[in-house]
A and B are shown apart, each in its own frame.
Chain A
């Protein structure tokens, strides 16, 4: 350390913080993440293999009991269905959004971003009003003469799938929109000049280039859907639980901590592995409403 005084600040090195300052600034972040995130999750994983005695018995109960495997399968199925529905509903919106200009673009952006920042409980409550026996959907169906008896909509798997798609749709639209926006306009024009029809330009240029966005959005929706709690807890049937509602039941009613910890372990390890495998395509920074 020969350099002294202020002259060092003119070296490119001088713009950097010292190692000690860096550490001090990072300390609160690492401390809170370690104590309030890493430790509680690790503690659960430890309980799941050590209690009531060291073994994998708790995990065996998850995969051997048909009631529990049905819950796992249902969770995977619902998450897949919600992801597929979100692609089908979300892609055209993202495409339209990337093409729109001025007021229309702003309006579409508001429709996508406002729900993202409004309470999940508000959105779930809204669906529970809509799905009531005498709610809007049944009233409309009966007024149109499509049915004489109100349907049972609330506390069904369909209700959970529809409401979860509604809640998670923005997580699909925004990454696709981001990918579509990063395609230079010239590409489409070049394809047109070369004689491609609009459909062919879309299928052979736009669609392949937007795939990273589709993959990123699908993963985000799928991973979030796997652990979703509020919507299945309020709109689903107690006979058709998802993994998170089963966890809640184990803790609040059965008080079986080791088994609940194993369920959480299965969910967390599965989600984390998927996230690691696809870590290159996940773009979380696109969720901050950078679209507007």
Chain B
């Protein structure tokens, strides 16, 4: 006889209730973004695209989005290059800096973002980086580096060091061996770490909140102000677009992972 199934049924019901709690608030913004209601009442009524056109037609929203796109692209580039170089050095190098590296790596994850945000707000104001693209990019690079390093450490750790040694014994320099042998093997992981760095930077709210100037505001900062002050129905439209972006990023990372030989 099988053990009674009502216990597992109860578990299943509980789990699906929790999953509904997780997913429903995300999904709910999608019908709201097409609602003709001006004041965000539930249930949504009718169908309109006017909130989307309000977003795309607004100079302020466009400027904030464009700033965030630039910052996120540069952050993805810097974080993946700096992170990969450091990870490679830690794995292949003869370094006594391992402990320092690990502590500094965990730092930006452990230390509350509000602390870093306030510290950078003060520091960047004195050196004129507040509200500038380089300022945002530097801050976001620090926040995304740990994620790049975790991804690249997993990938680089699986590449046999003998492959590079073999290439070098055939006359390749260290750099050639890396570029022609190791890099192609870890390229999918490198690309997915860049994707993750992009989305973390693009959605980063706290540091951006403090570093944004009166004129230079990232998309999350503009959204924060809108939600805080008047909560217009443009927010569900932007939220829907951001959810679609997250889905695309995760799909991209998934495809890259399934392509990866070092998986």
Interface residues of A (CB under 8 A from B): 6, 9-10, 14-19, 21-23, 25-26, 28-30, 32-33, 35-41, 43-44, 47, 89-90, 92-93, 95-96, 108, 111-115, 117-130, 132, 134-136, 139, 166, 169-170, 197-199, 223-224, 226-227, 229-230, 233-234, 244, 247-248, 251, 257, 260-261, 264, 267-268, 271-272, 275, 282, 284-285, 287-290, 292
Contacts and interface: CB of A to CB of B under 8 A. Distances in A.
B115 A41 contact: yes
Given A10-B169, A17-B93, A26-B97, A132 B119 contact: no
Given A33-B104, A115-B23, A117-B246, A292 B150 contact: no
Specify which of A119, A244, A271 lies most central, judged by the most chain B CB atoms within 10 Å of its CB: A119
A40 B25 contact: no
B56 interface: no
A129 B253 CA distance: 31
A139 B97 contact: no
Contacts of B168: 6, 9, 14
Contact of A198 (B3, B161, B224): B3
Nearest to A292: B254
B242 A28 contact: no
Contacts of B113: 227, 229
B interface: dominant SS? helix
B29 interface: yes
Q: Which 5 A-B pairs have the closest CB atoms?
A: A227-B112, A40-B119, A22-B93, A25-B89, A29-B86
A254 B150 CA distance: 40
Nearest to B220: A121
Contacts of B32: 129
Interface of B: 3, 7, 11-12, 14-15, 18-19, 21-23, 25-26, 28-29, 32, 39-43, 81-83, 85-86, 88-90, 92-95, 97, 100-101, 104, 106-123, 138-139, 141-142, 145-147, 150-151, 153-154, 161-162, 164-165, 168-169, 171, 174, 196, 199, 203, 205-206, 209-210, 220, 223-224, 227-228, 231, 235-236, 239, 242-243, 246-247, 249-250, 253-254, 257
B142 A37 contact: yes
Nearest to A10: B169
A15 B220 CA distance: 45
Contacts of B114: 227, 229, 244, 247-248, 264, 267
A111 B138 contact: no
B115 A227 contact: yes
B56 to A, nearest CB: 18
A260 B118 contact: yes
A121 B224 contact: yes
Contacts of B250: 113-114, 117, 289
22 contacts: A17-B93, A19-B94, A22-B89, A28-B86, A40-B123, A44-B115, A44-B118, A92-B15, A111-B22, A114-B243, A119-B203, A119-B205, A125-B239, A126-B25, A129-B40, A135-B41, A166-B21, A244-B112, A264-B115, A264-B119, A271-B110, A285-B150
